[in-house]
Structure 1
Amino acid sequence: MQLSDYTKEFSRNLNIAFPVMLGQLGHVMVGLVDNLMIGQLGAAPLAAVSLGNALVFIAMSLGIGFSFAITPLIAEADGAGDLESGRSYFHHGLIMSSINGIFLFLLLLLSKPILYYLDQPEEVVVLAIPYMNIVALSMVPLMAFQAFKQFADGLSQTKYAMYATLLANVVNVIFNYLLIYGFWIFPRLELEGAAWGTLISRFFMLWFIWEILKRKSKFAAYFKWSKKEAIHWNIFKKIFSLGFPTALQMLFEVAIFTATIFLAGNLGTNPQAANQIALNLASMTFMIAVGLGVTATIRVGNQVGTRKYKDLRRIALSIFLLVFLIEAVFALLFILLKDIMPTFYIDNAEVIMLASQLLIVAALFQLSDGVQVVILGALRGLQDVKIPTGICFIAYWIIGFPVSFYFGQKEQFGSMGIWFGLLAGLTSSALLLYFRFNYLSKKLIRTKEKVVQQV
């Protein structure tokens, strides 16, 4: 094939991915706004937000991972023109995601004492606990929202979740300003004010996507809940069989990034604050790749439904190439602006210097991180989740974490050493996942060709 066979798909890929990118950036912007506003209160409050969100992000990765199972099932049913199956996947997925939200809320409440045993600065832990109490409740509306989002994504209608998340950011900014600093009749709650802003914005986000989807003719047939409609445990089982490994994939990756927070905390308050700044900036560019990963799931899932496997492989490779080019641009920007971007977060010379060093390493793993999440999306579209889960565990925890732990000691490279482990883990993941996709896509093509020859 010629290069143009891949580049001609860029426009279609971006049309699907762009709303997802903005929507995912909207999620990250909630954290960015919290960090920027809390950073004005000092290094300890900023580190407390980082520590409190560490456990929240782990829980969030589990819930979002489960909800990701909805998208390939909806996409395959849509590609095959099977409305009944698509509606059933949506209804069962919504029920499962809502239950997950309640479960994760309770889990976070029970896990708070863990923060006292992680050798973190005491002042940081004291500030993090009340913040985490409130943010934990936001798991309930967030997980229900995810079910609606993944359903709409599966139908290639990615813009509605974008609208919801962007408007939710406006709500978050308003209530952050009112409640962090105290304005008019509102009390000055500082960190707890940021948590209340997050909670209110996520309830708004759920309400908005429910309202907008139920009013659109494209979704009308899916919102019909028959009184005779039964709960089918085999549908729950199918969603679980896809969702649980996907949740583990996200858990393994989020957990290693969370581990950097704890390892940085062992180095002190300033290294932990610098680590939070670098993570927040890296996560914003990562959301671009997540958008293309969702695109890969949708488009590959559609091709599975139509059984056009040569097109499946070509389309997937076009998305891999696109994300590589985009992340290369971000890597260059990270290097050029490494001394400037941290100054928007905090006025502390040591924190800024440490964060600028971390951004150099972040620039290097932009490529690996972007490629691996898109390949994971393509494999999810193939409904291949178990072996990729094993690959993620090996890459992050057998390869990446030991590197972070060893080189992240004070006598080694400190904060930069921690991030060397991230670079090693993400690069290993990208290579191994590509080998897996290459094998499966070629196998599908060969199998179909043999069937055609036999007929």
Structure 2
Amino acid sequence: MKQTHSKKEKIIQFVKIMLPIFITQIGLFSMNFFDTIMSGNYSSSDLAGVAIGSSIWVAVFTGLSGILLSITPIVAQLIGAENKKDVPFSVSQGVYLAVLMALTVIVIGAFVLNPILNNMELSSKVREIAHDYLIALSFGMIPLFVYNVLRSFIDALGQTRVSMMITLLCLPINVVFNYLLIFGKFGFPELGGVGAGYASSITYWLITFIAIGVIKGVQPFSHYNVFRRLYKISLSEWKAILKIGVPIGFSIFFETSIFSAVTLLMSTFDTITIASHQAALNFASFVYMVPLSMSMALTIVVGFEVGAKRYVDAKMYSMIGIAFAVGISLLFGIFLFFFREQIASIYTKEAAVIAMTSKFLLFALFFQLSDAIQAPIQGVLRGYKDVNFTFLMAFISFWIVGLPTGYLFATFTDLQAFGYWIGLIVGLAVGAIGLSLRLLYVQKTKFPAKNVSEI
């Protein structure tokens, strides 16, 4: 990553950083995507079980792994300030923290998983699939958390193509193991949706070992000597990571868990409704990879410029990123409107599920614009290390506004399950407005950038 001096140079550097992130996110998301569609093609019960299990898993993982995303702005600002000697120490402490967090989740999950599932109105078969799917995923939890730290370090150096290559190497392996373990091919046990969990765990171990090898043996990563010294645990550095990471993690948790909460609330509906909701939400999450990738790229470039105290450049990057996200999301929205039935048919062959999924996808259209605004702004604010308001806004917009609104529509109108999606749309819109106002305040008062038009 290098300093840029014009708008054109900034666009080129932003795209070079963002595109590999997007491909990486698509690759990581595709693991869950193939889990879902391959389980759905096994049976609707397996699709529903994986849907419930994924809803619990995604809420926990994304929230806690979000804490580890603090490594990106920390390293980016260290590099921008040309303080490279502290980078390996921060990365090592992040790895220690990742292992501790993963072990904590495994221990807590051993006690709370059964009570959570038993309190849900699920058929015995769906409950069993969801339980066993989560157990299978837990075998890959430690490497997955560690990989998030290593990837944050790799990306913070602007070397996002490396993360992309690691993911693309492992995705076919994930699909192959899904095929072997879900359908029981070539002598492997036929595990249904549960097999997708084991396939993902195998893949998590693989990408982590590859990332370690790359960081140890490939420039510019090997220059930092991340694994050549065993640092002592530093509670002060953990505090620094958590100070930035906890608000990031909670903001991500509040955002992702609202979708999980809606899925869990939908457990009162029939299996077709649960499966249709999950299929539509899965595709909406796929489209979300665009603004999310731009958000992660903005954290890198804005953090780099803020570390160097080039606030004019940081503001210009934020404007570029938001404009890109809005434009591309509009194109995705048009595609979604005209091809929603074809999209639904990817997930299942059952006509009833296809019909209901198509209806859910209409509501997903309205997700796009709000996501295209609020996700990039979150990335910009993280680049500034301004994370507390994002956490607060996520809680208010989704849990104080979005979920109650959805419950009211679902309970007291004829919309039923679709009412929850209206609540999600309202929550996303409120979040987008609040974050926009916060960014204007931060750039005007904390990091004033003058003469942006001169760039």
Q: TM-score, normalised by structure 1?
A: 0.94
Secondary structure of residue in 1 paired with 2:42: coil
Provide the residue aligned with 1:70 in structure 2: 71
- 8 A Cα contact 1:354 1:415, kept in partner: no
Asked if the contact 2:312–2:449 (Cα under 8 Å) also holds between the matched residues in 1, the reply is no
The one-letter code sitting in structure 2 at the alignment partner of 1:50 is A
CA-atom RMSD in angstroms: 1.8
What does the per-residue CA deviation read over 1:229-267, in whole Å, with 9 as the maximum and x for residues that have no partner?
A: 443322111101111111100110111010121122212
Counting matched residue pairs gives: 445
Distance 1:66 1:370 in 2: 22
1:226 and 1:149 map into 2 onto residues whose CA distance is 18
Q: Name 1:434's counterpart in structure 2.
A: 436
Within the candidate set 272, 278, 281, 1:279 is matched to: 281
Q: Is the 8 A contact 1:165 1:205 kept in 2?
A: yes
Give yes or no for the alignment of 1:177 onto 2:145: no
Q: CA deviation at 1:207?
A: 1.0
- Residue 52 of structure 2 is matched in structure 1 by 51
**Residue 314 of structure 2 corresponds to residue 312 of structure 1:** yes
Distance 2:201 2:337 in 1: 35
1:146 equivalent to 2:148? Answer yes
One-letter amino acid matched to 2:131: I
Query: How many Å separate the matches in 2 of 1:184 and 1:383?
Result: 51
Quote the residue 2:342 is aligned against: 340
The 2-side partners of 1:86 and 1:16 are apart by 20
2:406 matches 1:404: yes
Gaps of 5+ in 2: 1-5
Deviation at 1:227, TM superposition (A): 5.3
Counterpart check, 1:378 vs 2:362:
no
Matches within 5 A, 1:331-370: 331-370=333-372
Contact 1:56–1:136 (CA under 8 A) maintained in structure 2? no
Q: Write the distance in 2 (CA, Å) between the matches of 1:137 and 1:410.
A: 42
In 2 relative to 1, CA 212–218 (structure 1 residues): closer, same or farther, beyond 3 Å? Answer: same
Aligned twin of 1:236: 238
Residue type matched to 2:83 in 1?
D
What is the letter of the counterpart of residue 182 of structure 1? G
User: How far apart in 2 are the matches of 1:226 and 1:166?
Assistant: 27
Give the whole-Å Cα distance in 2 for the aligned partners of 1:145 and 1:80: 25
State the Cα deviation string for residues 46-71 of structure 1 (Å, max 9, x = none): 00000011111111112221111000
Give 1:156's aligned residue.
158
In the other structure, the counterpart of 1:249 is 251
Q: For the residues of structure 1 that align with 2:176 and 2:242, how far apart are their CA atoms?
A: 38
Within 2, Cα distance between the matches of 1:138 and 1:232? 26
Distance (Å, rounded) in 2 between the aligned partners of 1:289 and 1:195: 27
- Other-structure match for 1:87: 88
Alpha-carbon contact 1:69-1:246 (below 8 Å) kept: yes
Q: Which letter does structure 2 place at the counterpart of 1:42? A: S
Pick aligned residue for 2:201 from 175, 189, 199 = 199
SS at match of 2:205: helix
1:22 is aligned to 23
Report Cα offsets for 1:384-409 as digits up to 9, x if no partner: 11121111100001110011111123
C-alpha distance in 2, partners of 1:32/1:229? 38
Aligned residue identity for 2:161? K
Structure 2: which amino acid aligns with 1:31? N
Structure 1 226/179 Cα, relative in aligned 2: closer, same or farther at 3 Å? closer
> 1:197 is aligned with what amino acid?
A
Displacement after TM superposition at 1:288 (Å): 1.6
Secondary structure in structure 1 of the residue aligned to 2:436: helix
2:3 maps to: none
Tell me which residue corresponds to 2:390. 388
Match of 1:453 in 2: none
2:144 maps to amino acid: L
Structure 1, unaligned runs of 5 or more: 450-455
Counterpart CA distance in 2 for 1:292 and 1:217 is 25
Deviations 1:352-411, CA, capped at 9 Å, x for gaps: 111111111111111111321111111111111112111110000111001111112385
Distance 1:93 1:318 in 2: 30
Once residues 394 and 152 of structure 1 are traced to their aligned partners in structure 2, the CA distance between those partners, rounded to angstroms, is 33
- Residue in structure 2 matched with residue 452 of structure 1 by the alignment: none
1:98 is aligned to 2:99: yes
1:112 matched to which residue of 2?
113
What TM-score do the two structures reach when normalised by structure 2? 0.94
Give SS of 1:409's match: helix
Contact kept? 2:55, 2:263, Cα under 8 Å: yes
Tell me the alpha carbon deviations over residues 181-221 of structure 1, each in whole angstroms, 9 at most, x when there is no partner.
11222121222221111111111111111112211120113
Q: Percent identity?
A: 28
Contact 2:50 2:194 (8 Å CA) reproduced: no
1:168 aligns with 2:166: no
Q: Which moved more, 1:6-15 or 1:285-294?
A: 6-15
Q: 1:48 to 1:448 in 2, by over 3 A?
A: same
Residues 320-335 of structure 1 aligned to structure 2 (within 5 Å)? 320-335=322-337
